Structure 1
């Protein structure tokens, strides 16, 4: 039976991404769901995008847009994002993309433009970069950027009392909408964890690749986890987003 692999935040770490996929060894019929934040951090953001475009020629790939990808897309359209972008990995992205030709830049920009804001599969599993605030689901989110910026969904899941049954009127309505929810955006290392975390029915697959952590992947059916090495070990002369 084909597998569905969920891959967390990458942040320009091509070497770690390639290492991770070598360890997973997905079959051609498997689905790879990427949760966003492909750029900003380590030195190979443009190279990550090139690799992902090649990868989708071999596998069924779903690319979710992250907040860093939205920043990069704005910059590629000539709109400089807020000043904090450059301080949060954007400078490395600029340096990486400046190596591309005009034609290559156009192809990379088109790739960012066609990324999905979220994806729901046939098993009622939601894949989204950050979260959503509407109690009717992401399709009803009034402020689209919340889909790649929101952290309240994850904080809500962490705060749910496990003694409250899902059928209870006290159970959060947002969490009842989907059988499972997969997110990135908020590094598990912020909570002292180096593995993906689960709270209620929300799986957080961001394990801090932008900082001192790893890129992680999870089989959405079996919950088996694969990880790269710590990214900073693969880029020993760089700081990522640690500065």
Structure 2
């Protein structure tokens, strides 16, 4: 049994299912997705439904799920055709909106309820005596709990949008793993970034390898916390 982390799939189902084929969630492996399975690519709604229904797949709230949740909460489960969804559309939400509107009422209700209860961070995942803080962007001001939900965070919207400073400050005795910022902002290739250039000693690891770009160079990175090895899809 092993624990894997990925982030920012952005609607690319082929990469998502290829990843699932490599790990064994059916027999004890755990996959933690650090948000942003939806938008930009064509299959975000399908991935969202699949991830939420799998027992050993755990999805954290990303800024794209937050935009979806905010629209659905304000409009009681419906997506209006007006300016209130402009920010979501400008951030690639059209494909998700179209799929949601075609979904059954049962599936729409399931999505609304699931988004409302998504965790925002796992603040102390321990693997081989190493402690990890897993979130979509960066640790923010929140209660001291192992799992953070919207009610535990001072500013939930900022929590899912603020970008991590790769120079720190970092957390004492914990390695931060996040996505949200494509690694090209930190170095010149689409490989996982770490502040020390060594995943085994890193204080901060960014695993967003560009699925949002949805081109031939896009990669979905999957990091195994047990071995600190990365596989790309």
TM-score, normalising length from structure 1?
Answer: 0.76
Aligned-residue offset at 1:136? 8.3
Any unmatched runs of 5+ in structure 1? 161-171, 229-243
Asked if residue 41 in structure 1 is aligned to residue 40 in structure 2, the reply is yes
Moved more, 71-80 or 105-114: 71-80
Higher RCO (CA 8 Å, separation ≥ 6 residues):
1
SS at 2:92 equivalent: helix
Runs (4+) off by over 6 Å: 135-140
Contact 2:209 2:221 in 1 (8 A): yes
Equivalent pairs counted in the alignment come to 207
Aligned-residue offset at 1:12? 1.5
Give the 5 Å matches for 1:188-207: 188-190=183-185, 191-199=187-195, 200-207=202-209
Deviation per CA, 1:89-123: give whole Å up to 9, x if none: 11111111122011110011212122101012244
Deviation per CA, 1:183-203: give whole Å up to 9, x if none: 011011334221111114111
Contact 1:39 1:72 in 2 (8 A): no
SS at 1:68 equivalent: helix
Aligned-residue offset at 1:27? 5.9
TM-score, normalising length from structure 2?
Answer: 0.79
- 2: CA distance, partners of 1:117 / 1:90: 20
Moved more, 66-75 or 124-133: 124-133
SS at 1:207 equivalent: coil
Contact 2:142 2:154 in 1 (8 A): no
- 2: CA distance, partners of 1:227 / 1:205: 10
Contact 2:51 2:58 in 1 (8 A): no
The equivalent position to 2:67 in structure 1, one of 51, 67, 71, is: 71
CA RMSD across the alignment: 2.4
- 1: CA distance, partners of 2:87 / 2:52: 28
- 1: CA distance, partners of 2:38 / 2:23: 22
